């Protein structure tokens, strides 16, 4: 389904509202204009425009916007990535989101994040990227790779590398990532 220009504007507005809520400010026209000079917010806005052009088969404009976004803010998001509303990048620095990635609403990336299909050799060849639920926070340096599914309300810590499926409410640490919440509950049971 192609997204119309009004849907694109409402998506950008929802991203700006999320940003204002994070900074404890109420969203209004002045705040919106201020955010247009903020690199991380502009990066998200450029991605929404890129996705709009891609869905209307204007690939040239989409790739030009992608190059601008990459060079100015180091945010390289593939046009075919599906990201829900209220998407937020905290710091515009080295965010890579590859093709075939699906992300829910209220997603927050901090910096130095990568979400992509696994570049490593496996017997089961799959170009499918990760599927991520709603209200997920990805800490600085956190990586999510491979054809995996991550539930809602998951928190990924700094420099964690997520390579397996995790259910709702998980708190992930380490390389490769482990669920700390689950470990705590198992210790309490024993």
Partner 1 sequence: MMTFNQTLTLIKADFSRRLTLEEKRINALNMCLIAFKPGMISILCYRLSRYCFHHRLGIFCKFFSLIDQFINTNEISPQTDIGPGLVLSDAGGIGIPNLCRIGTNCTFMGYSSITLGALENAPTEDDFIHIGDHCVFGANTRIMRAVRLANGTQVKPCSVIITSVKKEGQTVSGIPAKHKHIDDYANIRQWNPLLSKSIVEAAL
Q: Which residues bind partner 1 (CB under 8 A)?
A: 63, 67, 70-71, 74-76, 94-96, 112, 114, 116-121, 125-127, 141, 143, 145, 159-161, 163, 175-176
Shortest separation between residue 128's beta carbon and partner 1, angstroms? 8
Q: CA–CA separation, 166 vs 31, rounded Å?
A: 37
User: CA 174 from chain center: how many Å?
Assistant: 20
Nearer of residues 35 and 77 to partner 1, judged by Cβ: 77
Shortest separation between residue 8's beta carbon and partner 1, angstroms? 23
Nearer of residues 154 and 160 to partner 1, judged by Cβ: 160
Shortest separation between residue 94's beta carbon and partner 1, angstroms? 5
Shortest separation between residue 14's beta carbon and partner 1, angstroms? 25
Cα-Cα-Cα-Cα dihedral of 81, 3, 21, 180, to 10°? -30
Q: Are 86 and 18 in contact (CB under 8 A)?
A: yes
Region of 146 (left: φ > 0; alpha: ψ -120 to 50; beta: rest) is: left
């Amino acid at each position: 389904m192609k997204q119309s220009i009004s849907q694109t504007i409402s998506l950008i507005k929802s991203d700006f509202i999320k940003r204002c809520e994070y900074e404890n400010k109420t969203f209004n026209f002045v705040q919106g204009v201020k955010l247009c000079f903020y690199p991380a917010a502009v990066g998200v806005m450029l991605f929404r425009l890129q996705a709009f052009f891609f869905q209307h088969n204007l690939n040239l404009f989409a790739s030009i916007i992608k190059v601008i976004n990459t060079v100015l803010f180091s945010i390289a998001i593939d046009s075919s990535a599906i990201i829900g509303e209220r998407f937020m990048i905290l710091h515009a620095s080295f965010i890579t989101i590859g093709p075939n990635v699906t992300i829910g609403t209220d997603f927050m990336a901090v910096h130095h994040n990568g979400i992509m299909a696994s570049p490593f050799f496996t017997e089961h060849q799959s170009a499918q990227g990760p599927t991520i639920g709603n209200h997920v926070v990805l800490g600085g340096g956190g990586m999510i790779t491979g054809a995996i599914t991550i539930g809602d309300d998951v928190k990924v810590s700094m420099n964690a590398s997520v390579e397996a499926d995790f259910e709702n409410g998980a708190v992930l640490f380490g390389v490769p990532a482990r669920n700390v919440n689950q470990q705590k509950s198992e210790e309490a049971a024993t």
